[in-house]
Structure 1
Amino acid sequence: MEVIKGREFTASRAWGSKLIANMQGITTKLHWTNQPYKWHINAGEEVFVVIDGIVHMHYRENSIEKVAVLEAGDIFFASVGTEHVARPQGEVRVLVVESEGSV
């Protein structure tokens, strides 16, 4: 049993995380960052939930780049093969649910 104050979480580096759970190979991690990630495609599906802050989620559909502006409470679901990159606007905290070892 653990209570986590998501909006208070910080890390010593961009995209630093706290592992909350590993449920049969599916991880749930709380991340803190103030820097963009990198363009990537996950090995499986990914659920990305903004806990605090604003994230510009860039993704490609049919080779066309699109942007979704995500605020606290918003969820981005990346299906298998979705190329995407998260670009925070200042400090953000996000919850990421994905297969263990995913990029």
Structure 2
Amino acid sequence: MTQEPQELGKAQEPVSLDRALASFTERWSPRIVTAVNDYDVRIAKVEGEHVWHVHDHTDEFFLVLDGELHIALREPSGERTVVLPKGSVFTVPRGTEHKPCAPVPTALLLFEPTGTLTVGDRHDEVPDHVDATTGHALH
């Protein structure tokens, strides 16, 4: 049985993140598993580098379900990289330029306002392996 994001206000069924992650292979192409108020809960498989980008009006929440994620940040005090092993969470503050990178195959859970573009409001040129999307329905 496929598990689709549910419309707000309707009863939902539990979503198995393991099954949801097994349902697609694309990297840097998140799937929407559910919604919380005006936010999408997305999962993604990632590997390699994303793109430098910034979300002008929203923070971006990352939870590493498996693997390891590095997030390079350009902050007023300079550039730094945070490393998130499995089970770690991190929030990139709105307006902070950042570039996620996964040195190994990694699974993520993200919270973002519905309609947020994966490459932010401003970004470098988007490489072919990065899907510039507001998230795909879970198939």
Residue 16 (structure 2) aligns with:
4
1:67 correspondence with 2:81: yes
In structure 2, the residue matched to 1:24 is 37
Q: How many residues align?
A: 103
Q: Which amino acid aligns with 1:95?
A: L
Could you list the runs of 5+ residues in structure 1 that have no partner in the other structure?
Answer: none
What is the Cα-based RMSD across aligned positions, in Å? 1.9
Q: 2:30 touches 2:44 (CA, 8 Å); kept in 1?
A: yes
Task: Out of 60-69 and 81-90, give the one that drifted further.
Answer: 60-69
TM-score by length of 1: 0.86
CA contact (8 A) 1:55 1:71 kept: yes
What's the CA shift for 1:35?
2.7
Classify the secondary structure of the residue corresponding to 1:97: strand
Contact 1:50 1:95 in 2 (8 A): yes
Deviation at residue 8 of structure 1 after TM alignment: 7.7
* 1:76/1:91 CA distance change after superposition, 3 Å: same
1:46-61 aligned at under 5 Å gives the runs: 46-61=60-75
Shift of 1:36: 1.6
Structure (1/2) with the larger strand percentage: 1
In 2, the alpha carbon distance for the partners of 1:21 and 1:71 equals: 24
Identity rate of aligned residues, in percent?
Answer: 25
1:8-55 deviation line (CA, Å, top 9, x unaligned): 824332112221112232111010121321111123111111110011
Does 2:88 correspond to 1:84?
no
Letter in 2 for 1:4: S
The farther-off stretch of 35-44 and 49-58 is 35-44
Q: Which runs of 5+ in 2 are unaligned?
A: 1-12, 118-139
Where in structure 1 do 4 or more consecutive aligned residues deviate above 6 Å? none
Q: TM-score, normalised by structure 2?
A: 0.66
